[in-house]
Amino acid sequence: MNEVSHSRRRFLQIAGASALSAGLLASINDVRALVDEQASAAARLDFDQLASAYSLADNLSYLNHASIGTIPRLVQSAHGDYLRLCESNPWLYVWGGGWDAGVQAVRAACAQALGCDASHVALSHNTTETFSMLAQGLPMQAGDEVLFSNLNHDGASICWEQQSSRRGYTVRKFEIPLADIPGLSEDDVVALHADAIADNTRVLVFPHVDNMVGLRHPLHRLVQTARAKGVEFVFVDGAQTLGMLPLQVASSGVDVYACSAHKWLQAPKGLGVSYIHPRLIEIVQPMWMTWGQQRWQGSVRIFEDYGTRNFPELMAMADALQYQYQLGAGRKLDRYLHLRKQAMAMVDADSALAWRSPRSEQLGASLFAIGLRNGQAEATAQRLYQQHGVVVRPFATPGLNSLRVSPNVFNTTRELRRLMHLAVN
């Protein structure tokens, strides 16, 4: 036992900590019970009524959940309760072991949402962090290639680009022509990736759903294709999927599936989670160098231990997961696809707008790009926000000139209709 954990144990014996941590666990369970009750009440509401469960400003039409999510009030309140408990005796409530059962519950709920075993879940801060760890800690050799497309997000790209010049491997970006996106089929997406893979491609990275046009990449088929072509590591960016789509990541055969919990899961900001295949424990060097890594040797928890953790925030992630679970993964997906279909019909009916996202429902998500044939995307988004309280993200990228719209289940057809009208008037 190292010195830190020895002196902690001594203190806990002296302070009679086990009784106190049992009290903490009881308090966590009280908060959880209340969340359960409130979440099941919220799940009985029509999605059109569900905005009442959040604290967005009245004059706002928030259609930018892909940039950052908003937390339902019941999760905010649970978070506050955990914070108050923690602050009543911070030393004890960070190091006293009282959160252990709570952390286990978070891990189990994450595993359920990801579709994997709880022992393969690493709790992180966000997607960017996990990709930084991979780019720094994966042994690579001169001549090895990391491959991704133009749809890959900076958070899963820049780390490879920066490390490649230091460590001598190469990074190649291939193009998925933006103009072709609306007409793509699943076979096309697979073929584009297969054609881009070269003999020296050792790592393939792709977003499950990208952040510009919302192409839902066929996860299982892409992993199989990459393996068949000799790619050793497949790392997937799930920043836009956890909480939006039902997931089965373990059976896809992916090596790492990295997510942020502050978008569609509506957990407190600065929380993430990754599925990590256990074979990586022996291969990847963890980013954080802590005494905890000895403790977690042989487990994917070596990738999550960064020293003192914000437990109240982490506890609230289980409540966010519980709330989303109660809303129902299938029911949410139906709603997302319904809103998307309606938006596509509105765009098709307006000659000043252009649908820039996949038309195929199978390749679509609750994130789509609406091209402006006349106005400028950035100026239009600014006007929509300043004059009408509508929040969307502009993309001035050549070939897009689009407003990216990312509704949550509680956004309504009415809001979409208003957006389309205001965007061109």
Ligand X SMILES: Cc1ncc(COP(=O)(O)O)c(C=O)c1O
Residues forming contacts to ligand X in the complex (CB under 6 A) are: 67, 126-128, 153, 155-156, 207, 210-211, 237, 239-240, 260
The set of residues, in sequence order, having a beta carbon less than 8 Å from that of 395 and lying 6+ positions away, is: 212, 369, 377, 401, 402, 403, 404
For residue 235, the minimal CB distance to ligand X (Å) is: 12
Secondary structure of 336-352 in HEC code, one letter for each residue:
HHHHHHHHHHHHHCCCC
Question: For 285, which DSSP code?
Answer: P
For residue 4, the minimal CB distance to ligand X (Å) is: 30
3-state secondary structure (DSSP) of residue 88: coil
Nearer to ligand X, 149 or 252 (CB): 149
Nearer to ligand X, 225 or 240 (CB): 240
List residues bridging with 355 in a β-sheet. 370
Would you say the C-alpha torsion 163, 189, 181, 211 has a positive or negative sign? negative
Nearer to ligand X, 98 or 207 (CB): 207
* Residue 63 near residue 415, CB atoms below 8 Å: yes
Nearer to ligand X, 72 or 207 (CB): 207
For residue 261, the minimal CB distance to ligand X (Å) is: 9
Nearer to ligand X, 41 or 396 (CB): 396
Nearer to ligand X, 85 or 392 (CB): 392
Nearer to ligand X, 226 or 259 (CB): 259
Nearer to ligand X, 98 or 155 (CB): 155
For residue 129, the minimal CB distance to ligand X (Å) is: 7
Backbone angles phi and psi of 252, in degrees to 5:
-75, -20
Q: What number of H helices and E strands is found in the chain?
A: 14, 13
For residue 99, the minimal CB distance to ligand X (Å) is: 23
For residue 328, the minimal CB distance to ligand X (Å) is: 24
Q: Determine what percent of the chain falls in helix, strand and coil, rounding each to the nearest 5.
A: 50, 15, 35
Alpha carbon distance 296, 313 (integer Å)? 22
Alpha carbon distance 325, 148 (integer Å)? 32
For residue 52, the minimal CB distance to ligand X (Å) is: 27
For residue 154, the minimal CB distance to ligand X (Å) is: 7
Alpha carbon distance 338, 342 (integer Å)? 6
- Packed helices 17-43 and 311-327: angle between N→C axes, nearest 10 degrees: 30
Side-chain half-sphere exposure of 132, counting CA atoms within 13 A: 10
**H or E element that contains 379:** helix 377-388
* Residue 28 near residue 311, CB atoms below 8 Å: no
Q: How many residues does the chain have?
A: 425
Nearer to ligand X, 85 or 159 (CB): 159
For residue 177, the minimal CB distance to ligand X (Å) is: 19
Q: For residue 85, give the nearest of 16, 13, 36, 23 by alpha carbon.
A: 23
